[in-house]
Amino acid sequence: MTIHKEGRTLLAVLLIILTVVNLVAYNYIGGTIIFQVSLGVSVVLFLLVLQFFRSPKIHCPVNDKHVIAPADGKVVVIEETAEGEYLKDKRIQVSIFMSPINVHVNRMPVKGIIDYFKYHPGKYLVAWHPKSSTENERTTVVAKMDNGTPILFRQIAGAMARRIKCYLSEGDKLSQGQEFGFIKFGSRVDVFLPLGTDVLVNIGDKTKAGMTVLAELN
């Protein structure tokens, strides 16, 4: 287990602030109880923020016919929908909600070349809101697989997550399970699959980024 690069500066600053607060509580405010409360709250706060930025090592079950979960979380949507930004036809949408206690690293669902990438500024509706997929801050990515199949996936910010990081550029070639981004403090990732794809998860299932098989392509 390591600490993700997105959290190292924040954690260092937080540690300095909490250290100063506790030194003040100990030296100037006085009182053992006040200091103990301050120290206890500081430890809990630091550990909560620390767990947001954990980055565990994984073993990805690489398979060209499989679509792997791009995020840790819970499956909240499996439905046929129209994708109008790039694919402009019907797809099976599988959405994963990332809570604040999940790992926030995002990983490639398939191996492929990045054919399309676009960042959209937007609102910060709660991640399960029906319009969050089209109105919230988000990034849209299309990976073209070796057989030419395009797989579109979308990072979506939520009410708490107000910073999406995506490390991709058009033309990049990435492996299945490779890290491609990070969403601070949770949110949602949508994956759009071709009609006829055999979805292997159900609503409410828990997923692990780069490990859980979402679907098998025909």
Enzyme catalytic residues: 187
Tokens of 90: 């019907």
Q: Determine the residue type at 159.
A: A
Calpha distance 109→175 (Å, rounded): 9
Q: For residue 144, with 0-12 CB atoms within 10 Å meaning exposed, 13-18 middle and 19 or more buried, which class applies?
A: middle
- Sign of the Cα torsion 6, 110, 90, 197 reads negative
Question: β-strand 89-98 against 105-107: which pairing, if any?
Answer: unpaired
- Helix H or strand E segment including 152: strand 150-156
Calpha distance 94→96 (Å, rounded): 7
